[in-house]
Amino acid sequence: MGSGLTGEFSLSLRVYIEDTDAGGIVYYVNYLKFMERCRTELMRSLGFDKNFIFNEELMFVVRDVSVTYLKPAKLDDELIATAHITQIKGATMTLQQSVRLATEVLAQGEVTIVCVDKQGLKPRRIPKSMVEKIQAAPL
């Protein structure tokens, strides 16, 4: 399955004191947390909440992540995290993600997640029902 499977999903976030360093700048690892929240809400919006995942006896784990940091976010900024599924292939799903302040991209990256069996943590194909629903999503 090729590129451009869905449109862009977005999630509004606020920067709190616990997200920042002593200078009031968002600590670099928190961008990954913002992206994770966005991926979770994207899946939830498609009907794949934690109950669905647990009932299917599967989990998604991050295999690869690459982030480029362009500008810092600061305390009390209202950010937008985005996710766009670009590829689904067998057991993997690749997403392009960003964290923005209004229209300005602060961090952008690519994340590849792998579907694994919950018990043995071995890769397994993403269920066909999930793939079909993602491909049909009007995001």
Residue 11 pairs with which residues in a beta bridge? Answer: 81
* Region at 28 (left for phi over 0; alpha for psi -120 to 50; beta for the rest): alpha
**CA 70/CA 87 separation, integer angstroms:** 25
Please confirm, yes or no, whether 21 is among the known catalytic residues. Answer: yes
Neighbours of 119 (CB within 10 A): 9
- Find the catalytic residue in 21, 49, 64, 76: 21
Q: Which residues are catalytic?
A: 21
